Amino acid sequence: MMKIRKLLRKIIAILMFRIDWKKLVFIGAILTVFRIMFQISTLPYPLTEWILFPPSEISSSRYLNHEKNLRELPASQDMRFNLSQHAPLVVSLNSTDRLNETQQVLERRQQVSRQQKSRKHVDAVDKVIFPSSPVRNKSNNMLRYITSLTPDEALAYAKREIENAPLVTDDQDLYTPLFKNVSTFKRSYELMELILKVYIYKEGKRPIFHQPYLRGIYSSEGWFMKLMEDSRKFVTRDPQKAHLFYLPYSARQLQKARYVVNSHDLKPLSVFLQNYVNMLASKYPFWNRTRGSDHFLVACHDWGPYTLKDHEELSRNTIKALCNADISEGIFVSGKDVSLPETTIRNPRRPLRNLGGKRVSQRPILAFFAGNMHGPVRPKLLKYWRDKDESIRIYGPLPHRVSKVMSYPEHMKSSKYCLCPMGYEVNSPRIVEAIYYECVPVIIADNFALPFSEVLNWTAFSVVVSEKDIPRLKEILLSIPLRRYQAMQNNVKMLQKHFIWNSTPTRYDLFHMILHSIWFSRLNQIQVSQIS
């Protein structure tokens, strides 16, 4: 008994004074950790998976569905983040391959987690677990789908997409108050850029064909021709791929080349166009296929509509972009034809000269007009308001004594309202001039189809006065509250970009707005039932 006690005392002494307990505890801890890790590796579910993704059910069918859903996830970082935090990962015990794949993924996940902090960790893991499909692939898929369609099917597809256009509440390129429905316009414009192809007939000799007239009040047709023929984006050399066919003649050049001065006879002009269209119809199948309904012309000269009368299909079916957009004469058809803005270009190399205007506080003149006294409306304007009121300045051609003090552009820039009465025809270049000089246009032209009225809300930036209300002109203008006028004048500034010719076209400028109106008109002819 004494020997046992002595042995115990020696053992206690050794344990108390000769063993380094710190080292012993450290070694024991290491051995314990290794043992735990060895046991974890033998489990069917690794410990990290139990902690992060506790399985709700072990089912091979559930796993397959879950895997399918992951492939179909939208490429949104926020969505991937939510799933990585909450979605259970369900695996099948019957599939060793899937288990190994899951383990490899989770090992990569652990490696990433040791290198990055919490939020970065989640994003990095998502890149491994949930690779997103690039946006470019979606665009390429859409392009492949569209190019697989016939031209009419592609137009029907576009029309259906426009009818279900996503809501647009704020767009840095489009000022919402200017539009009737900015969501519809934006979607239509985007699809035009994506889909539209125009075939331009090569037939026809200069100057009537393919020679744009870029100067003067009829320059809109020339600028459109120049930019259309130079376009790589919209023009196709394959007529089978075309959605629209352009008749590239100039009404102004036709008038100069074929009209006999003082004859008052437009017959030679209309016969010339009749023969031209008949030649195209006999040479190609495209006119006869639609009776000209997918063809368009652009004419700004006042005589443009009247030169079409001798060819019934040209007059009735073709999309006509006309400056002389008078709905009372039965030639221009609202909803099918396009009202072409009339622009005065004095220097083709500097089409934007004098662009801009003064602030509201620097516009002391209430209303201003100066111009030739042709047509029925302008003499009436002169009769009621010339020299009758200092705030309303009405002239015939601007007198030299007046222009020396203040030029015509300066008058417009110093006026709150710029009067735009019709002449012999309904349109006037003063409408676009007023927009250039940031003056609210007052349009006096009954039966005039306003440009781009299918998309633009003209009440937001202009005043329309009927011809019979000319005696009440001052009363009508003064009845507009100052706050509303300020909003209209600001809207005119925002509108400028849509009425500007650019030597190299930019999005939403005048070239694109005209082309969009033609495109939109063509869409109106298409029945959605044409696409399956």
Instruction: Please state, in angstroms and rounded to a whole number, the distance separating the CA atoms of residues 429 and 69.
Output: 59
Helix (H) or strand (E) holding 131: none
Which pLDDT score, from 0 to 100, does residue 289 have?
95
Tell me if 488 sits within 8 A of 461, measured CB to CB: yes
How far is residue 261's CA from residue 259's CA, in Å, rounded to a whole number? 6
pLDDT at residue 31 tops 90? no
Amino acid (one-letter) located at 54: P
Residues 296 and 310 sit within 8 Å (Cβ to Cβ): no
Q: Name the more confident of 381 and 118.
A: 381
Higher-pLDDT residue of 223, 66: 223
Residue 174: φ, ψ to 5°: -125, 130
Phi, psi of 6 (to 5 degrees): -65, -40
Query: In this predicted model, which residue has the larger pLDDT, 206 or 113?
Result: 206
Q: What DSSP state is assigned to residue 314? A: H
* Nearest CA-CA partner of 304 in 263, 352, 270: 270
The model's pLDDT over 220-258, given as tens digits with 9 standing for 90+, comes to 999 999 999 999 999 999 999 999 999 999 999 999 999
Reported as a pLDDT band with limits 50, 70 and 90, residue 159 is very high
The per-residue pLDDT for 70 is: 36
State the average pLDDT for the chain.
84
Angle between helices 267-283 and 251-258 (to 10 degrees): 120
Mean pLDDT of 271-298: 97
Query: Quick one: tokens of 466?
Result: 């009927």
Check residue 166 and report its DSSP letter: P
> By three-state DSSP, how is residue 483 classified?
helix
- pTM score above 0.85: no
Res. 529 pLDDT band, cuts 50 70 90: low
DSSP SS3 for 89: coil
Give Cα 91 to chain centroid, integer Å: 47
2: left (phi over 0), alpha (psi -120 to 50) or beta: alpha
Q: What is the pLDDT of residue 170?
A: 87
Q: How far is CA 141 from CA 137, 146, 150, in A?
A: 6, 9, 16
The SS3 call for residue 418 is: strand
Could you tell me what percentage of the chain is helix, strand and coil, using 3-state DSSP and rounding each to the nearest 5? 50, 10, 40
Distance in angstroms (rounded) separating the CA atoms of residues 406 and 397: 14
Q: Which of 325-329, 459-463, 524-528 has the lowest mean pLDDT?
A: 524-528
* Predicted confidence band of residue 16 (pLDDT cuts 50, 70, 90): low
- Of 85-89, 223-227, 304-308, the one with minimum mean pLDDT is 85-89
pLDDT of residue 511: 98
Question: Do residues 199 and 246 touch, judged by C-beta distance below 8 A?
Answer: yes
Average pLDDT over residues 435-443: 98
Report residue 57 as tokens.
Answer: 């059910």
Q: Of 250, 256, 279, 280, nearest to 268 (Cα)?
A: 256
pLDDT at 142: 81
pLDDT in tens, 373-403: 999 999 999 999 999 999 999 999 999 999 9
What is the spatial distance between Cα 422 and Cα 374, in angstroms, rounded to a whole number? 9
- Give the DSSP letter string of 369-382: E-----SSHHHHHH
Q: Which three-class secondary structure state does DSSP give residue 299?
A: strand
- β 365-369/415-421 pair status: parallel
Between the CA of residue 14 and those of 1, 8, 19, what are the distances in Å?
20, 10, 7
Structure tokens at 99: 């288990």
d(CA 239, CA 7): 110
- Please state, in angstroms and rounded to a whole number, the distance separating the CA atoms of residues 201 and 248: 7
Using one digit for the tens of pLDDT, what is the confidence trace for 471-510? 999 999 999 999 999 999 999 999 999 999 999 999 999 9
Which pLDDT tens digit goes with each residue over 340-352? Answer: 999 999 999 888 8
Residue 14 has pLDDT above 80, yes or no: no
What does DSSP assign to residue 179? B
pLDDT at 13: 66
Provide the terminal-to-terminal Cα distance of the chain, rounded to the nearest Å: 104
The residue among 170 and 444 whose pLDDT is bigger is: 444
Q: Domains of the chain (ranges plus CATH)?
A: 198-347+511-525 (no CATH), 360-499 (3.40.50.2000)
How distant is the alpha carbon of residue 261 from its chain centre? 45
CB 293 within 8 A of CB 318: yes
Give the residue from 260, 240, 258, 242 showing the smallest Cα distance to 250.
258
Return the bridge partners of 443, or none.
Answer: 420, 464
User: CB within 8 A of 105, min separation 6: which ones?
Assistant: 128, 129
Query: CB of 302 within 8 A of CB of 279?
Result: no
Per-residue pLDDT band at 19 (split at 50, 70, 90): low
Considering only 51-55, 308-312, 492-496, which range has the smallest mean pLDDT?
51-55
Residue 63 has pLDDT above 50, yes or no: no
